[in-house]
Structure 1
Amino acid sequence: MKCTLVLVGTELLNGATIDTNSIYMAEELNKYGIKIAYKLTIGDSLEEIIEALKFAKKNSDLTIVSGGLGPTDDDLTKMAISKFLNKKLIVEKDELLELKEKFKNLNIKFLDKNHKEVEKPEGALSIKNDVGMAPAFYIDDVVAFPGVPRELFNMFPKFLEFYSKEKNRKVDPIYIKDLIVVGIPESHLEEKIKKYFTSPDIEYEFLVKDYGIIVRMQTTQVYKNTVEKIKEKIYNSIGKHIFGEDKETLENKIVNLLKSKKYSISIAESCTGGQLTSKFIDVPGVSEVFKEGIISYSNVSKVQRLNIDKNIIDTYGAVSKEVAKKMVLGLDTDIAISTTGIAGPTGGTEEKPVGLVYVGIKVKEKVSTFKFNFKGDRSRIRQKTVLHSLFELYKMLEEDEQ
């Protein structure tokens, strides 16, 4: 079964509001095996909403509308749906009384325009709003929800349960398996694994993220075993570049490894300015293994806080493998990471361009340094430094024999 999401609101188009509703709806729809075929974002225009409804009705089984159910003049969704379906708008007495009671309980004056919040096309089924004012409604395979996220989150599951029963659908949830890959360019990655996707029932795509590339495989539960077989082949091909699956993160996996090995960790950051430390602090329970994070941004800090000989900095420069190595040796935990680089946009030279980064990693007595030449703006270079620091540490920990 296919559906179309119609997101209504000029604020979604001009950047004033970030769309989170469609992400939530997609996750809930997956549970019922309903695939999103199209997602349309429409401004507060009666004509444009009607055109979106026409497209959705023609190209999908179910139309889901979010936004534009409020009491103000720019809330036009109900009028658009009523015109599209050729149904007059009505107000049911019990729903109006319930709405007025909500206003009374909140000590808010009820205005004539607030009647609009319980208007709906004649024959529509209302979906109770437990956390807000306007109920959602469903009619002729069109369902409309308020755009306020918490109100949508309250009503959407109730609607899906009702809808699956009404249609007497056998639920076959959508199954998604993500493999998170680091260290292979997207084009090379595809060349290595596309040969495994021969089944028309398995869709796959690549999602480039700051922390790596997600290989996403999507199907329904009935083909889950087929996905698992494909996954095994991918591991056999590029397993050393796969650091996790689904919601796993490098920092979580590293913290779990540190706990299992009873290792402690400290970090000395220059170019990343605390971003690497923040990744670890985000992990619940990290206090068992994390000692400290030092932002030794200046050369003076590197000398005073990490005991690096000033002559080494003068000879090789703060951005060098020698300094990266000394930074981790200045930390007294089992595991240590250091970052030093030129994030830009200025400060680069022909010999040491913007994007040059050195990462130092200490695992017990073994110390390694890694050189990278990243492309992008200041933020992107720092993000890449954090990612590759985590990945190199993860590999060293896996190789470590306690």
Structure 2
Amino acid sequence: MKAILILVGTELLNGGMLDTNSIYMAEKLNSYGILIRYKMVVKDDIEEIKTAVNLAKKSGDLVIISGGLGPTIDDLTKQAIARYLDKKLIIDEEELIEIKNKFKQKNIKFLEDNKKEVEKVEGAVSFENKVGMASGMYISGIACFPGVPRELYDLFPRFLKWYSEKKKLEIDKVYIRNLLTYGIPESYLNNKLKRFFTNTNIDYEFLIKDYGIIIRLQSMESNKNLVEKIIKKIYNELGTNIFSSNNMKLEEVVLEMLRERKLTLSVAESCTGGMLSSKIVGVPGASKFYKEGLITYSNSSKEKRLGVNKKTLESYGAVSFEVAKEMVKGLSTDVGISITGVAGPDGGTKEKPVGLVYIGLKVKENVKVIKKVFKGSREEVRKKTVLCSLFYLKELLSEGSN
């Protein structure tokens, strides 16, 4: 079964509001095996909404509309559906009593305009809004819901349950597998893996995120075994460049490895200025394994807090292999990360350009220093450094478990 989403709201077109409803609805539709063919965004205009519905009805089995059900002059979805179907808008007396009682319970005066919230197209099935006022509505393969997210979250699951029972859907859930990777550019991933992506019953995607690249395979539950066979081939090809297959981010993976090994972590940051520490403490339960984060931005703090030798700083400079090594060795925990670099936009030289970063890593007696030169703005260099440090710590922790 194919669905088309129509998101109604001028604010979605002019940048006044971000669409999150379609993401939520997609997840719920996936669980019923209903695929979204495409989605449209239209402004608050009766003719625009009618045009969108007409196009959607030609292309899908179920048209789902979010937005435009409220009491104000820009809430026009029901009027558009009524005109499209050449039907009247009516008000059910029992539903009118119910909404008036809601207003009374909230000690809010009921206005004549609020009647719009219980209007429906003649012959439509209503769905009570348990957290707001405007009811949902279904008629002739068209389902309408409020645009307010918490109201949609209340109505949409109940509608899907009702719809699946009404249509006696044989549910073949959408099956999605995400592999999170680091260290291989998108074009290289494509070149390495495209020979595996030949089955037309499976959709393949590369999604670039700030924490790596996601390789996504999507099909139906009935094709699960085919998907898993391809996943196995991808693992054999990419190895440890895949850091997660269950949507765990790198910081979550690292902390889980620390938990399994009963190890604690501390970090010393210079150019990233606490960004790495912030990533780590963003993981629930991090306090059990994360002991300390030092921002040793100046040379004197590197000496005082980490015991970096003054002669090392004078001979090699703060941004150097030697200083990164002494920084990480100066951390008291068995596992540590140190970062020193030139984030820019100023401060670079021919020998030490903007983007040059040294990352010190240690797992007990095993100490390594990674040199990288990242491209991008100051913020981008810092973010890339944090991601890189977590990935290579994961690698070092994996070495210790072999």
- Asked if these proteins are the same fold (TM beyond 0.5), I'd say yes
Paired amino acid for 2:117: E
Report the equivalent of 2:388: 388
Write the distance in 2 (CA, Å) between the matches of 1:339 and 1:25. 42
Report the equivalent of 1:289: 289
SS at match of 2:7: strand
Write the distance in 2 (CA, Å) between the matches of 1:401 and 1:55. 57
Question: What is the deviation of 1:342?
Answer: 2.1
Report the equivalent of 1:124: 124
Question: What is the deviation of 1:13?
Answer: 2.0
Write the distance in 1 (CA, Å) between the matches of 2:141 and 2:378. 48
For residues 1-400 of structure 1, the aligned pairs below 5 Å read: 1-400=1-400
Write the distance in 2 (CA, Å) between the matches of 1:172 and 1:263. 43
> CA, structure 1 residues 146+401, in 2 after alignment: closer, same or farther (shift >3 Å)?
closer
SS at match of 2:158: helix
Write the distance in 2 (CA, Å) between the matches of 1:151 and 1:388. 41
Write the distance in 2 (CA, Å) between the matches of 1:120 and 1:94. 13
Question: What is the deviation of 1:332?
Answer: 0.8
Question: What is the deviation of 1:218?
Answer: 0.4
* Structure 1 segments unaligned to the other structure (5+ residues): none
2:179/2:247 contact within 8 Å kept = no
**CA offset digits 1:124-174 (Å, max 9, x no partner):** 111111110001101111111101111000010111111111111100000
Question: What is the deviation of 1:224?
Answer: 0.3
Paired amino acid for 1:276: L
Paired amino acid for 1:316: Y
SS at match of 2:240: helix
Question: What is the deviation of 1:355?
Answer: 1.8
SS at match of 1:179: strand
Question: What is the deviation of 1:337?
Answer: 0.3
> CA, structure 1 residues 12+344, in 2 after alignment: closer, same or farther (shift >3 Å)?
farther
TM-score (norm 1): 0.97
SS at match of 2:133: coil
SS at match of 2:292: strand
2:180/2:247 contact within 8 Å kept = no
> CA, structure 1 residues 295+105, in 2 after alignment: closer, same or farther (shift >3 Å)?
same
SS at match of 1:400: helix
SS at match of 1:216: strand
Question: What is the deviation of 1:300?
Answer: 2.8
More deviation, 272-281/345-354: 345-354
Question: What is the deviation of 1:15?
Answer: 2.2
Write the distance in 2 (CA, Å) between the matches of 1:342 and 1:15. 35
More deviation, 377-386/96-105: 377-386
Question: What is the deviation of 1:10?
Answer: 1.8
Write the distance in 2 (CA, Å) between the matches of 1:47 and 1:206. 37
Paired amino acid for 2:235: Y
SS at match of 2:165: helix
Aligned pairs, how many? 402
**CA offset digits 1:198-219 (Å, max 9, x no partner):** 2211111100111111110000
Write the distance in 2 (CA, Å) between the matches of 1:316 and 1:70. 67
**CA offset digits 1:12-59 (Å, max 9, x no partner):** 222222211111111100000111111111222222222211221111
> CA, structure 1 residues 344+42, in 2 after alignment: closer, same or farther (shift >3 Å)?
farther
2:67/2:77 contact within 8 Å kept = yes
2:46/2:80 contact within 8 Å kept = yes
**CA offset digits 1:230-263 (Å, max 9, x no partner):** 1111111111211111322222221122122221
Question: What is the deviation of 1:401?
Answer: 4.5
2:328/2:360 contact within 8 Å kept = yes
Paired amino acid for 1:331: L
Paired amino acid for 2:362: K
More deviation, 298-307/68-77: 298-307
Write the distance in 1 (CA, Å) between the matches of 2:350 and 2:96. 72
Paired amino acid for 1:293: G
Write the distance in 2 (CA, Å) between the matches of 1:300 and 1:67. 58
TM-score (norm 2): 0.97
> CA, structure 1 residues 56+284, in 2 after alignment: closer, same or farther (shift >3 Å)?
same
**CA offset digits 1:255-276 (Å, max 9, x no partner):** 1221222211101112222221
Question: What is the deviation of 1:391?
Answer: 0.5
**CA offset digits 1:66-98 (Å, max 9, x no partner):** 111111111111111111121211111111111
